[in-house]
Amino acid sequence: MQLAKDNTRWGYGKIAGELQKLGFDVCESTVRNVLKAYDILPAPVRFGSIGWRTLMRHYKHQLLACDFFTVETLRLQTLYVFFFIELGTRRVHVVGVTANPDGHWVTQQARNMVWLLQEEESPIRSLLRENDSKYAAAFDAVFAAESVNIIRLPYQAPNANAICERYMGTLHRECLDHMIILKDRHLDNVIQDFSTFYNHARPHQGLCQYIPM
């Protein structure tokens, strides 16, 4: 049973062969009957059922996610904050604040992020993003040119981008909910200061109380 749970791609024959190496003379049908008795699925189905959480945990250091959130100013202007977050380290990059997040602006933020990844020789291989019209084709092309795969998240599924959602909640609870934002420059300064604290001084439960940087 343990071999099947630890090696989701192994079929009955492979498990039987490994057991024979350990001195247990069993056949494939015996392995099948034992796994069936304990409700352990065959290899293809077992592998396909590892789930999104397991996939994210296994490849987290190769994953980057991005998202938007909005903030209302004192004069009731809606500002959009665009950020990226590295899933493995929880390091956040707030790349811009704007009142008009059109395709050209978002694409430029993508270029800025790619330049940073190049400078740091980052291991990032995939980017998670929502299906939002703000992400123009040029945005995807910037990352594709650096061999970064674009993973489009399903509609109305915030759990698929849970780490971004968690960061936004933390930012509001610990910072934005306690002040009034005056304008875009004020918001940018506040968020950049909080991001520095978030990356360099704030322990994270998801990192066993370690700090991203």
Alpha carbons 72 and 52: distance in angstroms, whole number: 33
**pLDDT at position 195, please?**
94
Please give the CATH number for the structural domain made up of 56-207. Answer: 3.30.420.10
**pLDDT at position 31, please?**
73
**pLDDT at position 161, please?**
87
Q: Under a CB-based contact definition with an 8 Å cutoff, are residues 163 and 143 in contact?
A: no
**pLDDT at position 211, please?**
81
Tokens 């008795």 label which residue?
37
**pLDDT at position 128, please?**
93
Query: What residue segments make up the domains of the chain, in order of their start?
Result: 2-49, 56-207
* Residue numbers of the chain with a pLDDT score lower than 50: none
Please, which residues have CB within 8 angstroms of residue 177's CB and are 6 or more apart in sequence? none
Which phi and psi angles does 27 have, rounded to 5°?
A: -110, 175
Three-state secondary-structure class, residue 210: strand
Task: Look up the pTM and report it.
Answer: 0.73
**pLDDT at position 40, please?**
67
Sheet holding 78-86, edge to edge: 92-98, 78-86, 63-72, 126-129, 149-152
**pLDDT at position 203, please?**
85
**pLDDT at position 46, please?**
54
